[in-house]
Amino acid sequence: MAIGAIVSLCLTVGLFILSFVFKVAGKLRLTIPVICFLLFSTVLNEWTEQHETLASIILISLFGLTVLSWVISLIKVIRRKRDEKYLEDDVAWQIRRAREIGIPLNSIRFNEHGDLLDPRTGKPVVYGEGAPFKDI
């Protein structure tokens, strides 16, 4: 009975640790490299010993692809933040310009190009009097 409890406890703890490893690996996009590593160290142990260089190249390549995906994601986040900042600055500039030329701001609308429309004329404010281009 005591051996059964110990085996059950060890199995439970082992599965908990494995579950945690896969959860962290999933968040870091390392699931495939972790599965490959586990296969190489358990089921494919003899093959790994015979083809050690190839196994290392496979693992390093998988990790390299993961790092590449991290870099691409980081670049996308930086671009998205920069675009959002640009849009916020552009909207603030257009509202400031509208105030300067005396346009009422109680019914502000923007067209599909992101230009502030004059509620009286329906034309973009930025191309109004004395402002032929947006200067950011």
- Express each pLDDT in 58-107 by its tens digit: 999 999 999 999 999 999 999 999 999 998 898 888 888 888 878 877 87
pTM assigned to the model = 0.67
Rounded to an integer, what distance in angstroms lies between the CA atom of residue 134 and that of residue 107? 22
Cβ partners under 8 Å of residue 109, min gap 6: 116, 117, 119
The chain-wide mean pLDDT, for the chain, equals: 87
Which pLDDT score is estimated for 136? 46
Helix (H, G, I), strand (E, B) or coil at 55: helix
- Comparison of pLDDT for 131 and 36, the residue scoring more: 36
Cβ partners under 8 Å of residue 127, min gap 6: 115
- Comparison of pLDDT for 115 and 128, the residue scoring more: 115
Which pLDDT score is estimated for 126? 67
pLDDT band at 1 (very low <50, low <70, confident <90, very high): confident
Kindly report the length of the chain: 136
Helix (H, G, I), strand (E, B) or coil at 98: helix
Rounded to an integer, what distance in angstroms lies between the CA atom of residue 45 and that of residue 39? 8
Domain boundaries defined on the chain = 1-50, 70-124
Residue 111 phi, psi dihedral angles, 5° rounding = -85, -175
